[in-house]
Amino acid sequence: MLEKILRKIEKLIPKKLYRLVQPIYHFLLAITGTILYGFPAHKMIMVGVTGTKGKTSTANFIHSVLSETGQKIGLISTANIKIGEKDLPNKYHMSMPGRFILQKTLKQMRDAGCKYVVLEVTSEGVKQFRHLGLFLDVAVFTNLSPEHLASHGGSFEKYRAAKMRIFKKKLFNSLKLVLVNEDDENAKFFLEASSAENIKFSLEDVSKIEEGDSGISFKYKGSDFKLNTLGKFNIYNALPAIILGERYELDFTQIQDGLSGLSLIPGRMEEIKEGQDFKVIVDYAHEKLSMNNLLDTAKNLKKDDNNKIIIVLGGDGGGRDEQRLYDMGKAVGEKADMVIVSNSDPYFDDEMTLSKKIADEAVRAGKVYNENLFILLDRGEAIKKAVELAKKDDIVLLATRGSLNTMSIKGKKVSSDDRLIAREVLKNLLNKG
């Protein structure tokens, strides 16, 4: 109720004045929400995960491993929210919910008896002071690449600085441990920002990596680990979970069980199976790094060179960075066999303009319109086209939306879930067959 009242007040403030007082407004909201719900995070061990890619998967791996402690665990990620035994989809369309929702959720976790909470911390959330009142004990840095730059004045340095703020000991920060992906070129900035104990992780710490049809296996510190999720890149997302498992006195058998027990991260390399003889994978890949990771994984899953990679993707509007449209177009143009460009989250932007930016870049990479490149704005039609094109052992990738179940078009939220659409299309296809 209080937040609704504040939102109404916000709309009455002239835009120029609002821009000036906006930081103060967000700060006060964060403090108010924290006080209103009784500083819930202060009574739990808080693990914050930040970076450009991999936050959701990393948070889910950590949650799964810490569950082996026998304690109740809370989770707040882009895809899902878990409060003890309760498992919910994230309906807020935000990786890091607004201050009042965030603090209310943390209170529910505290009341449910959660000892640990794992949550994603975003640059936009930090910019709006949503990190205040989290009392983070652990901060995890996954990686960094240009994204959401428009929200940070078009500056990568400002974007990075926003991420780094949770690593610095300031107001409401009780940071004790920092985990940093040493392989990322920005690692040094995050290590230098913190005075807390730091542990670096790297793919160089891992050996005997094997990528199979159902997951990844690797060796770390002499022990064997198995991930029942696709994609070699998920090793990066699993390493912080192993390190924290050790820190909280789990043995390697418990950590192994925690990792292998996680077979589904909603909308992250999620395989859709309805009895078809080809793979259908839903993933959130929506920028250069994640798109290339997705396509490289698909290539490794091919049984022979005759198998095709068919991808559906779209470009988000709403002030997102335009460069990633061109980066994705180049990646799919070079690495996919068939490309279908569709809607993702256009917001108020022209849908065809967004799609053409991706498609035209795919053309520059070698694709040909109406031969191996198509634009179908209707997401359902695009997925249907991809499925109809697929032959035995081909790989269909449904990218850029992951577990999202609504799409924002011209100010309206439209129901759209790639996973549900794919299941319906596959069932219809198999019934016809």
Strand 45-50 vs strand 114-120: parallel, antiparallel, or unpaired?
parallel
pLDDT tens track for 29-50: 888 989 999 999 999 999 999 9
Residue 28, judged by CB atoms within 10 A of its CB (0-12, 13-18, 19+), counts as: middle
pLDDT at 94 over 90: no
pLDDT tens track for 195-229: 899 999 999 999 999 998 889 999 999 999 999 99
Asked if residue 345 lies in contact with residue 355, where contact means CB atoms within 8 angstroms, the answer is: no
305 contacts: CB under 8 Å, gap ≥ 6: none
Res 173: pLDDT: 61
Q: What are the DSSP calls for 175-192, one per residue? A: --EEEEETTSTTHHHHHH
Question: H or E segment at 131?
Answer: none
Alpha helix (H) residue ranges in 230-287: 234-247, 252-260
Strand 270-271 vs strand 373-375: parallel, antiparallel, or unpaired?
unpaired
What does the block give as tokens for 401?
A: 């939306």
Q: In what order do the strands lie in the sheet with 206-211?
A: 206-211, 216-220, 223-227
Strand 216-220 vs strand 223-227: parallel, antiparallel, or unpaired?
antiparallel
Residue 364's nearest CA partner among 342, 339, 397, 388 is: 339
Query: pLDDT above 70 covers what percent of the chain?
Result: 92
41 contacts: CB under 8 Å, gap ≥ 6: 34, 106, 110, 117, 133, 134, 135
In the numeric block, the tokens 């094997």 are attached to 210
pLDDT at 332 over 60: yes
412-416: long-range contacts (C-beta < 8 A, 24 or more apart)? 416/343, 416/379, 416/380
Asked if residue 361 lies in contact with residue 330, where contact means CB atoms within 8 angstroms, the answer is: yes
Residue 116's nearest CA partner among 50, 49, 183, 197 is: 49
CA separation, residue 124 to residues 76, 143, 388 (Å)? 16, 16, 39
Average pLDDT of 290-314? 96
What does the block give as tokens for 238?
A: 């699993």
- Give me the residue spans of the domains in the chain: 2-260, 270-432
Res 340: pLDDT: 98
What's at 336, amino acid-wise? A
pLDDT at 23 over 60: yes
CATH classification for the domain delimited by 2-260, as one of 3.30.70.120, 3.40.1190.10, 3.30.450.70, 3.40.50.620: 3.40.1190.10
What's at 159, amino acid-wise? Y
In the numeric block, the tokens 């959701």 are attached to 56
Asked if residue 327 lies in contact with residue 287, where contact means CB atoms within 8 angstroms, the answer is: yes
Query: pLDDT above 90 covers what percent of the chain?
Result: 75
> Is the pTM above the cut of 0.85?
yes
| Eight-class DSSP state of 123 | H
Q: Higher pLDDT residue, 131 or 301?
A: 301
Strand 177-181 vs strand 138-141: parallel, antiparallel, or unpaired?
parallel
CA distance 272 to 281: 6
Res 217: pLDDT: 97
Res 11: pLDDT: 61
Residue 294's nearest CA partner among 305, 303, 285 is: 285
Domain 270-432 top-level CATH class = alpha beta
In the numeric block, the tokens 């607004």 are attached to 98
In the numeric block, the tokens 């026998």 are attached to 70
In the numeric block, the tokens 């179908």 are attached to 376
CA distance 249 to 312: 43
Strand 309-315 vs strand 338-343: parallel, antiparallel, or unpaired?
parallel
Res 12: pLDDT: 64
